[in-house]
Amino acid sequence: NAGVTQTPKFQVLKTGQSMTLQCAQDMNHEYMSWYRQDPGMGLRLIHYSVGAGITDQGEVPNGYNVSRSTTEDFPLRLLSAAPSQTSVYFCASSYSRTGGSYGYTFGSGTRLTVV
């Protein structure tokens, strides 16, 4: 089925470990974003991309890196995991069309625990 695929669904890391959260979409969407969701804090934007080769920081980028080498993939790298990065991470993608917007398609999320 077409959509946004995130892997893994669950992950436990030890403090200081690094890992990559994978995100892939097969809808040829230009826009892709990473959000984290914490209780009582809604969704916070980590990084986003408007196309292959172009990325930018959101409101909480520290401790995370991204790259966008293809339209389909937008991996999120945790450089040195900290307990404060325990969260649910969502990847989302959207079309870009002049004169309107189509909203995001979200992945099902990765639940990350850092111990």
Partner 1 sequence: GDSVTQMEGPVTLSEEAFLTINCTYTATGYPSLFWYVQYPGEGLQLLLKATKADDKGSNKGFEATYRKETTSFHLEKGSVQVSDSAVYFCALGPNTNAGKSTFGDGTTLTVKP
Nearer to partner 1, 36 or 114 (CB): 36
Q: How far is the CB of 102 from partner 1 (least distance, A)?
A: 8
**Shortest Å, Cβ 37 to partner 1:** 9
User: How far is Cα 39 from Cα 60, in angstroms, rounded to an integer?
Assistant: 16
Residue 101, C-beta contacts closer than 8 angstroms, at least 6 positions apart: 94, 95
φ, ψ for residue 14, nearest 5 deg? -95, 150
If the CB atoms of residues 13 and 107 are measured against partner 1, the closer one turns out to be: 107
Compute φ and ψ for 54, nearest 5 degrees.
-125, 120
- Which residues of the shown chain bind partner 1 in the complex (CB under 8 A)? 30-31, 33, 35, 40-43, 45, 48-50, 56, 58, 90, 92, 94, 96-109
